[in-house]
Amino acid sequence: MFGIGVPELILILIVGLVVFGPSKLPEIARSVGKGVREFKKATNAFSQALNAPMETPVQQQPAQQPAQQATQTQAAAPSHQSMEASAEQAASTPNITPEAGPAPKPAYEAPTQESVRQQIAEQTAKKNA
């Protein structure tokens, strides 16, 4: 471990017994044991968090505003008056909803089994062609 053999360990226990006394030594050993146990739990939780697959968040579609819904229903039956009304409504209400476009691609995506299979299939297709 750290190059500590049996004689060194016995010497450390004797010094601990002399310094702390026989009444405090079991309490110290218990607290050291608890500390080591908590450290192991923390390292296991950390390694599990690193090895866990990342979940991609689902982007929610913004709800349409009532003014936009009204212009869509009026656009279904176009007439000269409804076009003017929808143009006035569009000019009076600012468009504050974000454009519904594709979600930005993350900087890194962990490879999945399916993506690896696709890459292998593409490479073998290139070799055979």
pLDDT in tens, 17-26: 899 888 888 8
**Res 10 pLDDT > 80:** yes
Pick from 88, 93, 84: nearest CA to 64 = 93
Q: Is residue 90 part of a domain?
A: no
Count of structural domains within the chain: 1
The domain in which residue 42 lies consists of: 6-50
pTM of the model: 0.34
Q: Which residue has the tokens 């143009």?
A: 87
pLDDT tens digits, 76-110? 445 555 555 555 555 555 555 556 667 777 777 77
Write down the pLDDT at residue 59: 61
Residue 75 — pLDDT band, cuts 50, 70, 90? very low
Which pLDDT belongs to residue 47?
A: 86
Written as six digits, the tokens of 1 are 């471990």
The answer to whether the beta carbons of residues 16 and 28 sit under 8 Å apart is yes
3-state secondary structure of 92: helix
pLDDT at 40: 94
**In this structure, is residue 28 part of a structural domain?**
yes
One-letter amino acid at 65 equals: Q
- Give me 13's structure tokens: 């226990």
The four Cα atoms 32, 38, 41, 46 give a dihedral, to 10 degrees, of -110
Q: Report yes or no on 85 lying in a domain.
A: no
The reply to whether 94 falls in a domain is no
Contact 87, 43 (CB under 8 A): no
